[in-house]
Structure 1
Amino acid sequence: MESSRRWVVLAAGVAGMTAGCAFLYGLPYLLPRLRADGLSLTQAAVLVACPTFGLLATLVLWGALADRYGERGVIALGLGGAGLVLLGALSVHGPVALGACLVVAGAAAGSVNAASGRLILGWFGPAERGLAMGIRQMAQPLGVAVAAVTVPVLSRSGALLLLAICCLATAVLIAIVVRDPARTGSDGAATNGNPYRTPVLWRLHGAGALLVFPQFAVATFGLVFLVDTVHWDAATAGRVLAVAAFGGAAARLFAGWWSDRAGSRTGPMRILAGVTAGVLALLATGVPGLVVAALVAAAVVSVSTNGLSFTAVAEYAGPGWAGRALGIHNTGQNGVAALTAPILGAVVTHAGYPLAFTAAATAAAAAVAVVPALHVRDHQPTT
């Protein structure tokens, strides 16, 4: 029974993460509609980044609550609150009021980001944890895929209503299906105290943040890049990027499986960061006939490292610190994500897409040097 339950818990967690990510990271697919409503690209980019700004304010708090009170209640409460706020957003008028609602809903939805990774640490052993976290991290590209297919063809109100229903439905599912893992002795590097006494976690946080920059450069501007430079309509571009998002989900699954076999989360992470840098450098060249293939490849490989960094952080921190450590990790990643849209929106407006994608490639290359060398067996740096 316990053997099968962990997969049921994982499936419910993935459903919750998918719903939360469709809202948190799928709003860029509203950019063409917001621009048609009279907003500049920079203004619209700030608006779709609002959920991430809300997320930043609460991730560590949600993680601390999960460490103390358990994961199920934290996730269900946050997703339910996000759904209710999104329903309330249907009746507001003007970008300022809408942005405020999106900030609050993002703050609530942060619960699933902070606590669902902790479920993996509690329910799965080291030999399966990379694969399980890869499955969990598939939720982000799957959520983006849902948004890519639905949001471009819906009105603003229709999109918000769909996202609200998804959050509320999965909050109920989490409350019914998920059971918090048993709290036993600690493992990982944090067994004897604060894991931040060494620089390992800080390097993992830094590498994860650097790798979010190229991921969100592609996720935020991939659609408008295809509309502006390849002259596709938004619906066609959304379908292509939805296919790429499914590829990204598969890439996360493969990366997790690879890390289990390799006995290291950070070795595969370093290799995939280098591949990301190379693909984005190719995209930045703007060579006709290659840009679409390069964009799709970048959309796939740029998301592949997330599960690896989350698993490495959770394992190194240990159960006693995992919620807070993952909250800090998420805060750094989403801080970069929140800044990516407005900063690159201004870069694209004044200097064009090649410079924006070159900056993303540079961040991925820097991450290669920052990733520490860790082995799963002892969670200590290798020599």
Structure 2
Amino acid sequence: MTTLITTRGGTRRYGARHRWTVLSVGVGAQASFSAMFSGIPVTAVSMRSGYHLSLGSLGLVLSCLGLGVAASDIAWGVLTDRWGDRRVLLLGLTATGALLAVMAVAVTPSEHAGVALLAVCLLAAGALGGSVNGASGRAVMTWFADGERGLAMSVRQTAIPIGGAVGVALLPWLAERYGFRAVYAVPAVFCLLAAAATWRWLHGPGPEAATAAPEPGPSPLRRWDVWRVALASGLLTVPQFAVLSFTAVFLHDVKGAGAALASLTVLIAQLGGGAARIWTGRRTDRRGGRRTWIRAIGALSGVVMAAAAVLTHAPTPVTVAALAAGGLLANSWHGIAYTEIAALAGAARAGTALGLEGTACFASGFLTPLLVPVVLAVASWEAVWGLAAFAALLAVPLVPRQALTGR
């Protein structure tokens, strides 16, 4: 496969190896957004005190990130199928970086920013940054053959916990040491650097690959098998966001622990989940069974989160271990689920399918931070972790059973 790109300096030829460069750019784009998306919620304790938020207001503000992605992901996916991944990534990353830069200047506690302004800005950040989900995924689908897509998509999806781990480790420290001006400025730089890399290195495959892609069939939005994978993924996202968004608050309020322990817990979940994504992606490329693996991970996630509910008032190391394990499993299925839904739709419609997947996942990312304070108001932290377990178990029968010859 060779791609010819005409520039002012002449025509450049990109061979099959360029697919790894494309994957690297996709990883960078996904990681830059994830550092902001995952890191900001872990500043919850500093955000609550700095902006003078109630627990309910905090949940609303944090949920706006997920709402922004959920509201925009299908539209970004459709635009990606029409405009191409390069244009969409350039637009989304540049706009996200610019917005975060504005927030660093004008939407900080020292600028007396209120709940409404903060919520609107985080909603917009999620909506703009969500462009990376479908666009980078479609680039992977068009450059990699089916026998490599599981690994490639899992590597791309691993950028989410890796970038998230950077954000989780860095942003709470920045919030405590330098304030929210730095919390917004650093991810802004990440997004703008990713946009520059996209402009320089991300190019589409050549005519040979384009003609090899399957012809567009019915829209993924009209196929129940595609919807089942997306809805199951949305349910599996509930324990992920419960651990990500409220571990810091839980450990602070119940265990009297500081932000360092919360960051460590989420860090283990993110990095362990990233490693599991790569392993399952590679294994399913060789042996198939992506749907079977999604079902198995859902069952295990449910069992471990149920254990976390039972161990809520156990010694802190035991509780932390259960939450870290539950978070790890809740972060481990994404690569194979995104690969499966894109494969069901076909490369020509992958952007739309991945947009639907992102919408389902980030809708859960919006609803989970809203539900947790409600559950706490009427019940307890045991009920919070129990709800996460129930959602994961409910996802298992939704995933279509594996076809005998399918991956």
TM-score range, shorter chain: over 0.9
Report whether the alignment pairs 1:285 with 2:284.
Answer: no
Contact 2:142 2:205 in 1 (8 A): yes
Contact 1:276 1:298 in 2 (8 A): yes
What corresponds to 1:180 in structure 2?
204
One-letter amino acid matched to 1:97: L
Structure 1-normalised TM-score?
0.93
What corresponds to 2:342 in structure 1?
314
One-letter amino acid matched to 2:119: G
Report whether the alignment pairs 1:272 with 2:312.
Answer: no
Mark the runs of 5 or more structure 2 residues left unpaired by the alignment.
Answer: 1-13, 108-112
Contact 1:53 1:103 in 2 (8 A): yes
Match for residue 283 of structure 2 among 258, 271, 285: 258
One-letter amino acid matched to 1:59: D
Change (3 A) 1:157 1:51: same
What corresponds to 2:254 in structure 1?
229
Partners of 2:406 and 2:384 in 1: CA distance: 39
CA apart distance, 1:363: 0.8
What corresponds to 2:153 in structure 1?
133
Report whether the alignment pairs 1:102 with 2:126.
Answer: no
Mark the runs of 5 or more structure 1 residues left unpaired by the alignment.
Answer: none
Contact 1:263 1:376 in 2 (8 A): no
CA apart distance, 1:9: 0.9
- Superposed counterparts of 1:337-348, under 5 Å: 337-348=365-376
Percent identical among aligned pairs is: 35
What corresponds to 1:360 in structure 2?
388
Change (3 A) 1:103 1:261: same
**CA distances 1:13-51 after superposition (whole Å, capped 9, x unpaired):** 101100111122322112101222321122112112222
CA apart distance, 1:191: 5.3
Contact 2:42 2:244 in 1 (8 A): no
Change (3 A) 1:374 1:77: same
**CA distances 1:42-73 after superposition (whole Å, capped 9, x unpaired):** 21121122222222232112111111121111
Report whether the alignment pairs 1:53 with 2:67.
Answer: yes
Report whether the alignment pairs 1:168 with 2:192.
Answer: yes
Partners of 1:86 and 1:14 in 2: CA distance: 20
CA apart distance, 1:345: 2.2
Report SS of the residue matched to 2:271. Answer: helix
208-217 vs 237-246, which moves further: 237-246
Report whether the alignment pairs 1:373 with 2:386.
Answer: no
Structure 2-normalised TM-score?
0.88
What corresponds to 1:11 in structure 2?
24
What corresponds to 2:94 in structure 1?
80
Change (3 A) 1:96 1:263: same
CA apart distance, 1:378: 4.9
20-29 vs 333-342, which moves further: 20-29
Report whether the alignment pairs 1:323 with 2:377.
Answer: no
Contact 1:263 1:375 in 2 (8 A): no
Higher Cα radius of gyration: 2
One-letter amino acid matched to 2:211: T
What corresponds to 1:218 in structure 2?
243
287-296 vs 245-254, which moves further: 287-296
Q: CA RMSD in A?
A: 1.8
Change (3 A) 1:191 1:114: closer
